[in-house]
Structure 1
Amino acid sequence: MKSRIYRFESEDIVVSWDYVRCIHVEACIRALPAVFDRYRKPWIDPTLASADDVAAACEACPTGALHYVRLDGGATEQTPDRNTITVSEDGPLFIRGDLAISSEDGTAILKDTRAALCRCGQSRNKPLCDGSHREVEFTAEGALAQAALERGDGDTPEKGPLTIRVSDPGPLIIRGSAELAGEGGNACCHVRVGALCCCGKSKNKPFCDGSHAASGGTDG
């Protein structure tokens, strides 16, 4: 997995930005435009707001491209009480929680509280999204179809780790308790074990239906 990290400091906080993981959702800009300004160099200036506000804006980043270290003894980012998987329209899977992503042989890839996972099959930084869905004009609903809702077990999500194993070729294998929801709070369900499509071809998105086998791999 690729990364290119830049750091921006004030007396109270250090912000780290991973250029490779950033897909320009701009949640940080909407949250705190004085600090995050893409037309300015450097585009992040944490001296222009309180450390608490800067930290909150970093945590708004759904891809995990933004993180921070407090120098003032302030609160650090906490692991969410529950794991959530949000299916975005024409885009990636946004995941929050106690995340551990590994390769098929069990090698650790990423441990984080936030990540955006490719589901178009074209990312050059799999399993993470790199924005390629825009280049290839990937289209997929940001809502859960009835067939997907029926895959849930109906229980309330529990606190605990969510492991995601990358199979090649094949889907993302998830294990753990998570709420699966469509973008904008569309109907959701609770899943414990599942195979999520990352080739972009499944007819039962966000779940895998084996279409990657017919296409010869995960790439679209």
Structure 2
Amino acid sequence: MVEQYTGKDRRYAGDDVDITYSLKRCIHAEFCVKRLSAVFDKNARPWINANGASPDEMTSVVELCPSGALHYDRKDGVQEAIPEKNVIKIRHNGPLEVRGDLAIEGATVALAQETRASLCRCGASNNKPFCDNTHKEIQFEPVEAVSIDEVPSPSESGKLVITACENGPLELNGPVEIINEAGGFLFQGNGTALCRCGGSGNKPFCDGTHERIHFKAE
């Protein structure tokens, strides 16, 4: 039976803030170690010192983490704000960078409340549906979709449910904007399906290629 990731990550306790970290979800963007080395030091053990800076400094840096590998629990009750809209940024030759009011579900994941995630779209990650940087190893270089000329009206707020379909696409249900690396609009609406097999001829959208190539996600 496949074990589901539910977000119960390693906890680093501090006087005012606890920081949680998921090694499986980390894509080593390194905003943390570059912005706040007094708290995040790769050469120290433990590598996170949750008393190394003020609560505001620590939480602001944690919120930069694109993969959602880092989260926090403040003892004063202040929580990370849920973004007003759900946005998926297509990273050039890289993953789907998602921010919003998210739920992520599938055979290997069950997250009822999330705000940040980096999801695999090359088809080769060993930690699907999350990115693990394998796109760099396989030199994933997709032909990207052309952005639409007309800028859509602001999208609605609400929960975006992302379902990693069995051996199939990432199915999106809920309001979402999809943009490219430069910020150009690719989609706005309340549902679509995104390729995660790496083979679609209409990336980032699914075109059914996963069936033809017998894509195996798990």
What TM-score comes out, normalization by structure 2 length? 0.87
Aligned residue for 1:21? 25
Q: Secondary structure at the match of 1:48?
A: coil
Aligned residue for 2:161? 163
The structure 1 residue matched to 2:91, chosen from 79, 88, 92, is 88
Aligned residue for 1:215? 213
Q: Within 5 A, what are the aligned runs for 1:46-61?
A: 46-61=50-65
Q: CA RMSD in A?
A: 2.4
> How has the CA–CA distance of structure 1 residues 218 and 88 changed in structure 2, closer, same or farther, with 3 Å as cutoff?
farther
Q: Secondary structure at the match of 2:56?
A: helix
Contact kept in structure 1, 2:129 and 2:164, CA below 8 Å: yes
Contact kept in structure 1, 2:119 and 2:131, CA below 8 Å: yes
Query: Distance in 2 between the 1:64 and 1:136 partners?
Result: 23
Hey, which of these two has a bigger chunk of helix by percent? 1
Measured against aligned partners, the alpha-carbon deviations of 1:107-158 in whole angstroms (never above 9, x if no partner) come to: 97223111111101112222111222222222236x6424xx48x9934211
Query: Distance in 2 between the 1:4 and 1:79 partners?
Result: 19
Q: Within 5 A, what are the aligned runs for 1:2-151?
A: 2=5, 5-71=9-75, 73-103=76-106, 109-111=110-112, 112-140=114-142, 144-146=145-147, 149=148
Shift of 1:66: 0.4
Query: Distance in 2 between the 1:103 and 1:42 partners?
Result: 32
> How has the CA–CA distance of structure 1 residues 4 and 163 changed in structure 2, closer, same or farther, with 3 Å as cutoff?
closer
Query: Distance in 2 between the 1:186 and 1:36 partners?
Result: 33
Shift of 1:166: 1.7
- Segment of structure 1 superposing worse, 15-24 or 180-189: 180-189
The structure 1 residue matched to 2:199, chosen from 201, 208, 211, is 201
Unaligned runs of 5+ in 2: none
Identity among equivalent positions (%) equals 41
Shift of 1:218: 4.7
Contact kept in structure 1, 2:105 and 2:111, CA below 8 Å: yes
> How has the CA–CA distance of structure 1 residues 135 and 25 changed in structure 2, closer, same or farther, with 3 Å as cutoff?
same
Query: Distance in 1 between the 2:139 and 2:199 partners?
Result: 13
Query: Distance in 2 between the 1:176 and 1:153 partners?
Result: 19
What TM-score comes out, normalization by structure 1 length? 0.86
Unaligned runs of 5+ in 1: none
Shift of 1:84: 0.7
